[in-house]
Amino acid sequence: MSAVLKQAPQLAPMKAADLDAVLAIEQAVYTHPWTRGNFADSLRAGYQCCTWRLGGELVGYFVLLCAAGEAHLLNLSIAEGRQRRGHGAALLHEAMRVARESGARNIFLEVRPSNLAGKALYERFGFRKIALRRGYYPAQGGREDALVLSSAL
Ligand SMILES: CC(C)(COP(=O)(O)OP(=O)(O)OC[C@H]1O[C@@H](n2cnc3c(N)ncnc32)[C@H](O)[C@@H]1OP(=O)(O)O)[C@@H](O)C(=O)NCCC(=O)NCCS
């Protein structure tokens, strides 16, 4: 096994210099991706934006807003070619740890009902449906509802 394969992924604060690589993943994994401006605004606003790197390679990232004892997971994504290898679960574990350490006692997020991978990941971590936001997401030829999921931290 090479030295690179033995390395564990590293969590680091997202920087403006990461945005080209972040956008490349974002545009590959979503039908309606965030824009560069969405990420830049999140960085400027002081949200907890983190990258997940294996060696020099960007494997994933998350964007988390923590305020008033609540955490809102706004984005969590794994590069297409790196999915189904445990990175999503490991990164969600890190996001929940960061949220807990920031003082949040609950975490919530929105997910498309059609996002089977996302729903399965969050269910595996004990997230429960708390609400439905009608027409929350843009979708092909219309809008799609969002499931609002939550977990205690
Ligand atoms: C959702 C996502 C983050 C999962 O990342 P991943 O690295 O593939 O996930 P893992 O390999 O850690 O898998 C963890 C669990 O997620 C679920 N899961 C992941 N991919 C799945 C798929 N294609 N179908 C069904 N379940 C899936 C499974 O429960 C899996 O556990 P298992 O391997 O024991 O069955 C990834 O698919 C992704 O980035 N998708 C695009 C962005 C997105 O939808 N993010 C969530 C938006 S709310």
Confidence check: pLDDT of 101 > 90 = yes
Model pLDDT, residue 124: 97
State pLDDT tens for residues 126-151: 999 999 999 999 898 899 999 999 99
C-alpha 75 – ligand 1 centre gap (Å): 13
How far apart are alpha carbons 23 and 10 in whole angstroms?
19
Task: Give the residues surrounding ligand 1 with Cβ less than 6 Å away.
Answer: 29, 76-78, 83-89, 109, 111, 115-118, 120-121, 124
State pLDDT tens for residues 29-48: 999 999 999 999 999 999 99
Q: Which atom in ligand 1 lies closest to the alpha carbon of residue 90?
A: 12
| Pairing relationship of beta strands 128-139 and 106-111 according to DSSP bridges | unpaired
pTM of the model: 0.95
Confidence check: pLDDT of 5 > 80 = no
Average pLDDT over residues 13-31: 97
Percentage of the chain exceeding pLDDT 70: 95
Q: Which atom in ligand 1 lies closest to the alpha carbon of residue 77?
A: 39
Model pLDDT, residue 141: 86
CA-nearest residue for atom 31, ligand 1, is: 121
- For residue 28, the number of C-alpha atoms closer than 13 Å in the C-beta half-sphere is 15
C-alpha 83 – ligand 1 centre gap (Å): 7
Contacts of 81 (CB under 8 A, 6+ apart): none
As given in the structure block, the two tokens for residue 33 are: 């991706």
